[in-house]
Structure 1
Amino acid sequence: MAPEIDIIDPNVYERGGIPHEQFTWLRDNDPVHWHHDLNDGVPGFWAVTRHEDVVTVSRNSQLYSSHVRTSMYEEFTDDEVLLYGMMMLFQDPPDHTKNRSKVNRGFTPRMIKQLEGHIRDICNELIDDVVERGEACFVEDIAAHLPAYVICELLGAPVEDRQKICDWSNHIIGFADPELAGAKEKAKVFAGELMEYAAQLAHERLAEPRDDIASTLLKPDESGERLSIEEFQLFLLMLIIAGHETTRNGSVGGMLAFFENPDQWAKLKADRSLLRTAPDEIVRWTSPINLFRRTATADTELGGKQIRAGDKVVIFYGSANRDERVIEDPFTFDISRDPNPHIGFGGGGAHFCLGTHLARLELNVLFDTILERMPDIEPVGEPRRLRSNFVNGVKEMRVRFTPSTPLGTKAAALSRG
């Protein structure tokens, strides 16, 4: 018998995380499912749940547009769509291709590899702040700060701006959770503050360029192309939302996965070479970003269903990453999984995650540092999940570990300049 299908209500995710039982039924019985929206006046949508179909949609920007009504599940006004359409995340080729080429140079594997020492210092600094206590909130004390600190490092932003970046990201993404922002209007205010900050940073870097990604993006490349102030503002908004939330929730979800699968933590302790494959399995398992929206630009067929031009099409990574047709034994968390055909960084095509190399490096270094400094880390009580259908987030997860002495990482890093 078919279960009651509700894979979009944020309350579903707050109560139990990704509704895998429903997704499994959909993949087996109705992989392109017409899902009536729960809110009055908001259109229903096609829920795409199989790996193959998610990849098909992801790789065909001409037929499944990120630009027409943005790539967010929420419905926006025409004016909002026009504004947000300037952001790379909400563009289709050729505009997306042109803008992506401007920022790619800041995120090559070679550029990201240069950050490894800084990321290790940041991880040690965060652990220094809690290690004497023997207990912490893994979300607030460690996971939430790591990507914000790394983004500050990328931009060359002052250390004192780290908390602002954390707060902006939390409130912009968490507008559906009453504990965080409480309303879309507040989220817009925080986004506005972030845009003002980005403009100020851009003017500073144009006046006095530095050895950071902000300066790299704002100076002309070989063909004379560079980001305008407005494009830089929107890029920074995207970087803080995408770069902060994916790594934050991947870190927390990964730690939770290790708590629930202690054999894998023991396996990683015994063989650190598994840090090469572990980040991808963490991203597959947690699917930090649950969904994105596309809009059909023409009548077509997908999964045996007739899709009409203008239809809302929602692709679910959390489902695709557990698809038995593509991933062997998908409900087993296996940090040695290789190859790992997950699509936690996107299903390919134009919008494959720009920060893939950075996310892998952050997860690699974080868990390496935890293994080194708090190997007996364990949970205290149940985690509390975020009320969101967009990010698979945990907002509180208490942990304990054997207390130890700080390394003084912050002072050492400052002394090196």
Structure 2
Amino acid sequence: MNVAQDLPHPSDLALEDIDVSDSRIYQQDAWRPYFERLRKEDPVHYVADSQFGPFWSITRWEDIVAVDSNFEDFSSEPAIVIGDNSEELPIANFISMDPPKHDVQRRAVQGVVAPKNLAEMEALIRSRVVEILDGLPVGETFNWVDRVSINLTTQMLATLFDFPFEERFKLTYWSDLGAGSPEIAGGDVDPEERLAGLHDCLETFTRIWHERKDDGVETLDLIRMLQRDPNTKDMVDDPMEYLGNLLLLIIGGNDTTRNSASAGVLALNQNPAEYEKLRANPALIPSMVSEVIRWQTPLMHMRRTANKDVEFQGKQIRKGDKVVMWYLSGNHDETAIENPNSFIIDRENPRKHMSFGFGVHRCMGNRLAEMQLRVLWEEIMQRFSKVEVVGEPERVKSNFVRGISNLPVRVHPL
């Protein structure tokens, strides 16, 4: 396994100098040997000095599950990303809270993805997928990320928020600003642009909140759901909590699906035998979708903060220490998943992955993400013999979102 030239190979580093918070590792897709070494030699690993301060890395499946399931010792407050929010934008949201407040706020919006509502959404999603795929330029090279992945997920976000459809790409922009800051995830978003953009997001949704307040409309959208719930009906009066929850719902509803929609195309091209399996048996699509989500791990880590001194796997974690669960490593842990570095669309237990997390914070929209990806691939397989990758993917600079920003492809009709 080669590591990019401007990054040291982990075998050349002292163990204490391995710092997997360096976002270049993921932008250059060079992360595998770093986590392999940590899982083998130091699965509960301390970094004394990083761009984000000192932190612990948890890299094995069983240890990640143990931390993720124990909110009493490992708190989601004040943040679930490795970096801390800036003083200029001290946002809060329910994923960075512990029970009971977390449960109350999550309950206000989780009905949007109830099974009945998902069933009703499927026809709408399919009609949009059909329109997107039928509009692709056959025989021409184009960026799959823009034309398909972003397009599909942004339309879905606009529906969930009942957001003006013609302005829906603002949602993608705000999502990228929310997740891409240097101080929280090692991104390359300009801090001033981020501050201005997120204030625009807050102003826009504050106006929407007041326009919808007591309007009597029964639409099942996230803003009206927050307004109807007695525990969140005044959330707009706390701007940073309102903005934080908006960003949580926008990023959560966007990044998992968007980046898995691109990663599936890439993985099948990198593993042509698996693409042949899919062509021969499209009934494998649900299994393949789960394997893509594991393989990609769209959100690579979640952070907790120790509530007290804890001895964990022989290491002494102190109260206040950052504890980072690397889902990307857990999804490639040889002790938990057979042949984890192979992309296999007909695994025996394809939904055994940790891309959606564990415990009280397990991803609320996981079924919606799976459904969107399933419908997308059902319609792809009815139209195209191959979605061919014709250039190198460009990846997002982040240690949190494992994203693809450009994937040049050509589609070949049946």
Question: With structure 1 as the length reference, what TM-score do the two structures score?
Answer: 0.88
Pairing partner for 1:57 from 63, 67, 71: 67
Greater shift in the superposed pair: 123-132 or 385-394 = 123-132
1:11 is displaced (CA, Å) by 1.3
- Contact conserved, 1:71 with 1:294, CA < 8 A, in 2? yes
Q: Residue 175 of structure 1: CA displacement? A: 3.3
Preserved contact between residue 105 and residue 231 of structure 2 (Cα < 8 Å) = no
Alignment of 1:165-244 (within 5 A): 165-176=171-182, 182-206=189-213, 207-214=215-222, 217-218=225-226, 220=228, 224-230=230-236, 233-244=243-254
Is 2:344 the counterpart of 1:334? yes
Displacement of 1:229 after TM fit? 4.2
**CA-CA distance at 1:173 after TM superposition:** 2.2
Shift of 1:403: 6.3
In 2, the alpha carbon distance for the partners of 1:160 and 1:229 equals: 27
Is 1:90 aligned to residue 96 of structure 2?
yes
The answer to whether the 8 A contact 2:112-2:221 is kept is: yes
The residue aligned with 1:344 is 355
1:152-197 C-alpha deviation (Å, 9 max, x unpaired): 11222222022211222223323349xx963233222222211222
Which position in structure 1 is the counterpart of 2:137? 131
Alignment gaps of 5+ in structure 2:
1-9
Shift of 1:24: 1.2
Q: 1:276 is matched with which residue: 286, 310, 318? A: 286
Deviation at 1:353, TM superposition (A): 0.3
Q: Does 1:253 align with 2:237?
A: no
Structure 1: gaps spanning 5 or more residues: 405-417
Q: Show the counterpart of 1:302.
A: 312
Paired residue type of 1:154? L
Partners of 1:379 and 1:176 in 2: CA distance: 30
How many residue pairs get aligned? The number is 392
CA–CA distance in structure 2, aligned partners of residues 384 and 60 of structure 1: 36
What is the CA-CA distance between 1:126 and the residue it aligns to?
1.9
Aligned to 2:151: 145
Q: Which runs of 4+ in 1 moved over 6 A?
A: none
* Kept after mapping to 1: 8 A contact 2:265/2:389: no
Q: Partner of 2:67: helix, strand, or coil?
A: helix
In 2, the alpha carbon distance for the partners of 1:243 and 1:112 equals 14
Conservation of the 8 A alpha-carbon contact between 1:102 and 1:227: no
Instruction: State, as a whole percentage, how many aligned pairs show the same letter.
Output: 33
Q: d(CA) in 2 for partners of 1:136 and 1:365?
A: 21
The AA in structure 2 aligned to 1:93 is P
* Cα deviation digits, residues 233-278 of structure 1 (max 9, x gap): 5432211112111111111112111111112122122222212222
Specify the alignment match of 1:26 in structure 2.
38
Shift of 1:214: 3.0
1:287 aligns with 2:287: no
- Asked if 1:322 corresponds to 2:332, the answer is yes
Please, which of 82, 85, 100 is the counterpart of residue 76 of structure 1? 85
Q: Aligned equivalents of 2:137 and 2:88: distance in 1?
A: 49
Letter in 2 for 1:209: V
Aligned equivalents of 1:156, 1:109: Cα separation in 2: 19
Aligned to 2:34, the other structure's residue is in SS state helix
CA RMSD of aligned residues (A): 2.3
1:113 alignment partner in structure 2: 119
Rounded to whole Å, the distance in 1 between the matches of 2:339 and 2:147 is: 34
What is the SS of the residue equivalent to 1:293?
strand
CA distance in 1, matches of 2:138, 2:300: 36
1:156 maps to which of 155, 162, 165: 162
- Distance in structure 2 (CA, Å) of the matches to 1:218 and 1:74: 28
Name the SS of the counterpart of 2:254 in structure 1.
helix
Aligned partner of 2:24 among 11, 21, 25? 11
Distance 2:149 2:260 in 1: 9
